[in-house]
């Protein structure tokens, strides 16, 4: 593996909250581990949510699964504003709050309001507002233009600090952006020595998730119009990269690099007679856990002592519990909520189930394969279709009978299940840090060696069709 390029590395995420964001947060933590594994010294993680220091510390422990990660630095925008907002005040300009806007105050440890943020309700593009963010100070109020102005002010401050530490005003800084919202705001950052590498975490397509399907929302449409502004874009699967290239035009900065999955060499202990199926996902519409619950009576007809264990939390938890209760499944379907011991549960389970209507990579499927846990999943783009292979059984989307039949076959046939467990581990090797790390390191070298793609300042303009 090549030595890392001579640069500083910064990872941006809106927040790092596994119990709220599931696999997204796990993927961000995995990217940071990968940076360390290829020789990057002390990569820096920047988060932009308004939670307090105690909350951030708890979420960081969850994301890194109890590992304090002393080789990673973690900073939060609003913790630094609360501690000392002078860096922001110095970059702001004279101005006042918008009299027609609602605001929420950010207070320091002494209860003083130091920043006022505009409140944008019921608008998924809230981050694009240019409504003034007000910075309070003894010499009078100042403002920056919206959240974009706020975020870029912090990023410029952080980059200046990194360069001062290195005593090099032109030192290269590679920014790995994990959030499309943040990516929209920084796409025109005009620092010639900053390189922006943008990652992708989910499918850009709405169900039924075919290449010609409509885009999921306006956020994807805006973001796809900005591809040429990023120095590289990392897709979780080659098929998604290909679909985007064929539909919107080729982009030389695109590359498929999956989020790495650490192998699990522990022996499997199925517990009892091996009748435990598990799911790991957020309880949101995309994951279609209701379909799994609807399929379960058909599984019980064939395997009466089977149990379905669902790990993860989300806004649909109460509705799913009601569905479980209404169908009389409380003794065999269990909602466990968020857990940071998923790998332990996988070691004692019999099969893994995914009923998502679409995916990006689906890290839980990767972890199941790495644990030797056979996977049953709907054959949807992109993760299941790309990574399950011979490590499981793919079923036509929406086919509840197919799900029940596949699960019953695995639960009842110990020999077939053992053989598929071996194939699952083999299938997972393409996701190992060693397999992924070399490609990732080469990409970073290429990005640093090339000139930054951004040429102008101002608001981003669409450079390619995105419909």
Give the 3-state secondary structure of the chain.
CCCCCCCEEEEEECCCCHHHHCHHHHHHHHHHHHHHHCCCCCCEEEECCCCCHHHHHHHHHHHCCCCCCCCCEEEEHHHHHHHCCHHHHHHCEECCCCCCCCEEEEECCCCCEEEEEECCCCCCCHHHCCCEEEECCCCCCEEEEHHHHHHHHHHHHHHHHHHHHHCCCCCCEEEEECCHHHHHHHCCCCCCCEEEEEECCCCCECCCCCCCCCECCHHHHHHHCCHHHCCEEEECCHHHHHHHHHHHCCCCCEEECCCCCCCCCCCCCCCCCCCEEEEECCCCHHHCHHHHHHHHHHHHHHCCCCEEEEEECCCCHHHHHHHHHHCCCCCCEEEEECCCCHHHHHHCCCEEEECCCCCCCCHHHHHHHHCCCCEEEECCCCHHHHHCHHHEEEECCCCHHHHHHHHHHHHHCHHHHHHHHHHHHHHHHHHCHHHHHHHHHHHHHHHHHCCCCCCCCCCCCCCCCCC
CATH number assigned to the domain comprising residue 333? 3.40.50.2000
Q: In this structure, are 128 and 162 located in the same domain?
A: no
Residue 159 shares a structural domain with residue 220: yes
pLDDT value, residue 61: 79
Please count the structural domains in the chain.
3
Q: What is the pTM of this model?
A: 0.92
Does the residue 72 lie in any domain? yes
pLDDT the model gives residue 22: 86
* Packed helices 363-370 and 23-37: angle between N→C axes, nearest 10 degrees: 60
What pLDDT score does 226 carry? 95
Q: What angle do CA 259, 358, 409 make, to 5 degrees?
A: 90
Determine the structural domain holding residue 137 and report its residue range.
98-145
Question: Residue with structure tokens 């569905």?
Answer: 323
Q: Is residue 87 part of a domain?
A: no
* 400, part of any domain: yes
> Residue 1: inside a domain, yes or no?
no
Task: Assess whether 58 and 107 both reside in one domain.
Answer: no
| Residue 461: per-residue pLDDT | 40
In a domain, 290, yes or no: yes
Kindly state whether residues 336 and 382 are assigned to the same domain.
yes
Same domain, 179 and 307: no
Whether residue 184 sits in one domain with residue 111 = no
Residues 167 and 214 in one domain: yes
Residues 290 and 378 in one domain: yes
Count of residues in the chain: 467
Bridge partners, 117 (sequence order): 104
pLDDT value of position 40: 95
Q: Are 200 and 31 in contact (CB under 8 A)?
A: no
Cβ(70)–Cβ(41) below 8 Å: no
Do 156 and 243 belong together in one domain? yes
Residues 252 and 302 in one domain: no
CA 328 to chain centre: 35
Model pLDDT, residue 60: 82
Residues 58 and 204 in one domain: yes
Is residue 14 in some structural domain? Answer: yes
Residue 458 is assigned to a structural domain of this protein: no
Provide the residue-wise pLDDT of the chain in tens; the chain has 467 residues: 678 899 999 999 999 988 889 889 999 999 999 999 999 999 999 999 998 888 888 888 777 875 655 689 999 999 999 999 999 999 999 999 999 999 999 999 899 999 999 999 999 999 999 999 999 998 999 999 999 999 999 999 999 999 999 999 999 999 999 999 999 999 999 999 999 999 999 999 988 888 889 999 999 999 999 999 999 999 999 999 999 999 999 888 999 999 999 888 777 665 435 799 999 999 999 999 999 999 999 999 999 999 999 999 999 999 999 999 999 999 999 999 999 889 999 999 999 999 999 999 999 999 999 999 999 999 999 999 999 999 999 999 999 999 999 999 999 999 999 999 999 999 999 999 999 999 999 999 999 999 998 754 344 344 444 44
Q: Which of 163, 170, 235 is nearest to 440 (CA)?
A: 235
User: Are both 251 and 328 inside the same structural domain?
Assistant: no
Q: Is residue 121 part of a domain?
A: yes
């Amino acid at each position: 593996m090549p030595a890392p390029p001579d640069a500083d590395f910064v990872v941006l995420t809106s927040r790092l909250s596994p119990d709220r964001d599931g696999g997204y947060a796990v993927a961000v933590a995995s990217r940071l581990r990968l940076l360390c594994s290829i020789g990057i010294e002390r990569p820096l993680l920047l988060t932009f949510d308004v939670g307090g220091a105690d909350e951030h510390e708890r979420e960081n422990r969850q994301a890194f699964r109890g590992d304090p990660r002393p080789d990673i630095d973690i900073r939060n925008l609003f913790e630094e504003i609360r501690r000392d907002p002078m860096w922001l005040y110095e970059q702001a300009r004279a101005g006042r709050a918008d009299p027609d806007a609602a605001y929420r105050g950010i207070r320091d440890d002494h209860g003083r309001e130091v920043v006022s943020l505009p409140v944008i309700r019921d608008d998924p593009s809230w981050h694009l507002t240019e409504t003034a963010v007000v910075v309070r100070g003894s010499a009078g109020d100042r403002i920056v233009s919206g959240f974009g102005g706020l975020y870029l002010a912090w990023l410029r401050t952080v980059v200046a600090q990194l360069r001062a530490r290195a005593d090099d005003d032109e030192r290269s800084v590679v920014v790995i952006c994990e959030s499309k919202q943040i990516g929209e705001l920084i796409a025109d950052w005009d620092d010639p020595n900053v390189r922006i590498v943008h990652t992708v975490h989910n499918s850009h397509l709405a169900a039924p998730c075919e290449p010609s399907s409509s885009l999921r929302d306006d956020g994807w449409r805006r973001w796809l119009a900005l591809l040429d502004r990023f120095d590289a874009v990392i897709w979780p699967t080659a098929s998604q990269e290909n679909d985007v290239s064929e539909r919107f035009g080729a982009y030389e900065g695109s590359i498929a690099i999956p989020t790495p999955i650490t192998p699990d060499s522990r022996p499997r202990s199925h517990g009892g007679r091996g009748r435990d199926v598990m799911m790991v996902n957020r309880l949101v519409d995309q994951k279609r856990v209701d379909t799994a619950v609807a399929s379960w009576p058909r599984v019980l007809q064939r395997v009466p002592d089977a149990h379905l264990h669902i790990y993860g939390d989300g806004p649909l938890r109460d509705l799913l519990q009601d569905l479980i209760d209404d169908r009389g499944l409380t003794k065999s379907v269990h909602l466990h909520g968020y857990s940071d011991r998923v790998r332990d549960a996988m070691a004692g389970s019999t099969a893994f189930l995914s009923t998502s209507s679409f995916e990006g990579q689906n890290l839980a499927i990767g972890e199941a394969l790495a644990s030797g846990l056979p996977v049953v999943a709907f054959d949807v783009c992109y993760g299941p279709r790309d990574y399950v292979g011979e490590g499981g059984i793919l079923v036509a989307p929406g086919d509840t009978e197919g799900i029940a039949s596949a699960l019953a076959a695995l639960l009842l046939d110990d020999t077939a299940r053992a053989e598929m467990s071996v194939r699952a581990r083999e299938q997972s090797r393409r996701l190992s840090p060693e397999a992924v790390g070399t490609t990732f390191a080469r990409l970073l070298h290429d990005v640093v060696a090339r000139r930054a793609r951004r040429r102008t300042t101002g608001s981003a303009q669409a450079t390619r069709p995105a419909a």
